């Protein structure tokens, strides 16, 4: 249910008491509440809510098992009855708890699902309401884009979403579309998307002062991935509407950055394509010449994301930005290695890696550094071209994909690649099953500290 934060505590707001596991006796609770909790088998289990009755059957408040981490608090958004609420005591991490509350109330309503009841919650003391709303708006934008099926989120609609965001923040947008991709030297973006009825394109959004530090975000915008001529099985296509999750996440991050008014020159590059099948689809065994001039043999048409990213990264690298980030739902190998909750990231910049690791812990936004292991570069060798887009042995798939992309970033020192899933397989405390933002809250923190 949606959560509205109120800066002044409503007069009749009911208290939520946070209880640690097996901490009933040490919590500041009335004896009647402790007795009620014991009668209902509540002992502070993480994420569990127990409503406490008062006189005449009215609500007197609620108990909540706080567990490890502030994001647990997001479960309250779905568990509490409608009404006005406040935390009964001070929070260790008030802002993160408030973010969790708002994120936990997200509902995707475009296709008829009802938003449910609304909670009003007093803003915890020490929390920045403006920042909370910036973060939540960015996450909700990402979730909405990923959750929308390709029938309503093809390259045309993804471009429209960029234009809508740009208009809200007075950013500039230019688009290279269709055969213009060939004349403007984006041949791999064109090759991947040319079989679709919806023309491939590179969407380029720029915001901020020209002389400010340059931060460039690149997001994989494959709006649907059939696998191309190396076609996926039907089960493998069920979630392919989310293959533009990288684009959705960089747009969510861009929303946070622009709403904060950071003093940077922000550029967002999104190669928006659909990897379809038709008589003009690119083929296994084809050799493509990239924007950078590197020739790429196609070992598998289902490894298309790295191709469109390569052309976009080559363009971004020409400017030598102070920070270059790309995000993509790139490999199943990343999920095998780390699962859906823990996205790997790759960078050769030790300072950036350290900042990201610290921000990940502070924001409870999981990520894990993986190595750009140079000996695996040889796995991408080709007998007829400079490089193949896949390996032949199937090992280290996420690492070799990152090494492929690294070849197209030669000038920029601070570059990081995020191999994300962009999806919750099951409900979590801070959001329902479905599309989700990954890493962008941590990235927002790093970028704000660097350039805020």
Give the dihedral sign, CA 33/35/38/43.
positive
Q: 119 and 144, same structural domain?
A: no
Q: 196 and 121, same structural domain?
A: no
Q: 154 and 254, same structural domain?
A: yes
Q: Is 152 exposed, middle or buried (0-12, 13-18, 19+ CB in 10 A)?
A: exposed
Q: 182 and 118, same structural domain?
A: no
Q: Residue 21: which domain range? A: 3-127
| Residues 247/158, Cβ–Cβ less than 8 Å | yes
Q: 409 and 442, same structural domain?
A: yes
Q: What are the tens digits of pLDDT across the range 299-341?
A: 999 999 999 999 999 999 999 999 999 999 999 999 999 999 9
Single out the residue in 78, 106, 127 at which a domain terminates. 127
Q: 254 and 105, same structural domain?
A: no
pLDDT value at 418 more than 90: yes
114 a catalytic residue = no
Q: 175 and 120, same structural domain?
A: no
pLDDT value at 26 more than 90: no
Number of Cβ within a 10 Å radius of residue 114: 8
CATH number at residue 276: 3.40.630.10
| Residues 74/111, Cβ–Cβ less than 8 Å | no
Q: What are the tens digits of pLDDT across the range 41-83?
A: 999 999 999 999 988 889 999 999 998 889 999 999 999 999 9
Q: 285 and 349, same structural domain?
A: yes
Q: 118 and 139, same structural domain?
A: no
Q: What are the tens digits of pLDDT across the range 381-390?
A: 999 999 999 9
232 a catalytic residue = yes
Starting from the edge strand earliest in sequence, which strands make up the sheet with 387-388, in order?
287-289, 295-297, 387-388
Q: Strand 295-297 to strand 387-388: parallel, antiparallel, or no bridges (unpaired)?
A: parallel
Give the contacts of 112 (CB within 8 A, at least 6 positions apart): none
Q: 155 and 20, same structural domain?
A: no
Consecutive H or E run containing 196: none
Confidence of residue 1 (pLDDT cuts 50, 70, 90): low
CATH number at residue 90: 3.40.220.10
The one catalytic residue among 143, 306, 406, 441: 306
Write down the mean pLDDT value for the chain. 97
Report the C-alpha gap between 370 and 295 in whole angstroms.
Answer: 26
Single out the residue in 69, 100, 127 at which a domain terminates. 127
DSSP string, 311-374: HHHHHHHHT--SEEEEEE---HHHHHHHTTT--EEEES-HHHHHHHHHHHHHHT---EE----G
Single out the residue in 127, 151, 166 at which a domain terminates. 127
The one catalytic residue among 9, 131, 163, 232: 232
Q: Strand 295-297 to strand 287-289: parallel, antiparallel, or no bridges (unpaired)?
A: antiparallel
Q: What are the tens digits of pLDDT across the range 80-133?
A: 999 999 999 999 999 999 999 999 999 999 999 988 888 999 999 999 999 999
Q: 382 and 260, same structural domain?
A: yes
Q: 89 and 149, same structural domain?
A: no
Number of domains present in the structure of the chain: 2
């Amino acid at each position: 249910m949606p959560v509205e934060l109120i800066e002044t505590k409503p007069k009749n707001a009911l208290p939520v008491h946070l209880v640690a596991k097996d901490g009933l006796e040490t919590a500041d609770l009335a004896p009647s509440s402790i007795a009620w909790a014991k009668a209902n088998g509540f002992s502070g289990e993480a994420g569990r809510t127990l409503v406490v009755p008062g006189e005449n059957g009215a609500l007197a408040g609620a108990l909540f098992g706080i567990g490890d981490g502030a994001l647990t608090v997001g479960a309250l958004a779905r568990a509490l009855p409608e009404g006005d609420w406040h935390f009964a005591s001070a929070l260790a991490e008030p802002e993160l708890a408030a973010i969790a509350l708002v994120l936990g109330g997200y509902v995707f309503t475009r296709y008829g699902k009802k938003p449910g009841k609304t909670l009003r919650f007093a803003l915890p003391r020490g929390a920045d309401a403006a920042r909370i709303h910036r973060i939540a708006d960015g996450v909700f934008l990402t979730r909405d884009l990923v959750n929308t099926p390709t029938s309503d989120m093809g390259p045309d609609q993804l471009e429209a979403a960029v234009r809508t965001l740009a208009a809200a923040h007075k950013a500039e947008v230019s688009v290279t579309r269709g055969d213009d991709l060939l004349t403007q030297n984006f041949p791999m973006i064109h090759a991947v998307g040319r079989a679709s009825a919806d023309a491939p394109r590179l969407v380029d959004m720029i915001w901020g002062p020209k002389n400010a530090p340059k931060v460039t975000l690149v997001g994989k915008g494959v709006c649907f991935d059939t696998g191309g001529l190396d076609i996926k099985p039907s089960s493998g296509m069920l979630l392919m509407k989310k293959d533009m999750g990288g684009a959705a996440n960089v747009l969510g991050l861009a929303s946070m950055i622009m709403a904060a008014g950071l003093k940077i020159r922000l550029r967002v590059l999104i190669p928006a394509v659909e990897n379809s099948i038709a008589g003009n689809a690119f083929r296994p065994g084809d050799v493509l010449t990239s924007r950078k001039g590197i020739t790429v043999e196609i070992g598998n048409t289902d490894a298309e994301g790295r191709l469109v990213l390569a052309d976009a990264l080559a363009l971004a690298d020409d400017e030598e930005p102070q920070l270059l980030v790309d995000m993509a739902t790139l490999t199943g190998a990343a999920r095998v290695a780390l699962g859906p909750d823990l996205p790997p990231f790759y960078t050769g910049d030790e300072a950036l890696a350290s900042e990201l690791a610290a921000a990940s812990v502070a924001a409870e936004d999981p990520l894990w550094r993986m190595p750009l292991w140079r000996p695996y570069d040889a796995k991408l060798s080709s007998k007829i071209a400079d490089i193949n887009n896949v390996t032949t042995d199937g090992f280290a798939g996420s690492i070799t994909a990152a090494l492929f992309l690294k070849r197209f970033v030669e000038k920029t020192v601070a570059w990081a690649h995020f191999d994300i899933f962009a999806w919750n397989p099951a409900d979590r405390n801070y959001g329902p099953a479905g599309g989700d933002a990954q890493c962008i809250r941590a990235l927002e923190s790093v970028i704000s500290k660097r350039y805020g």
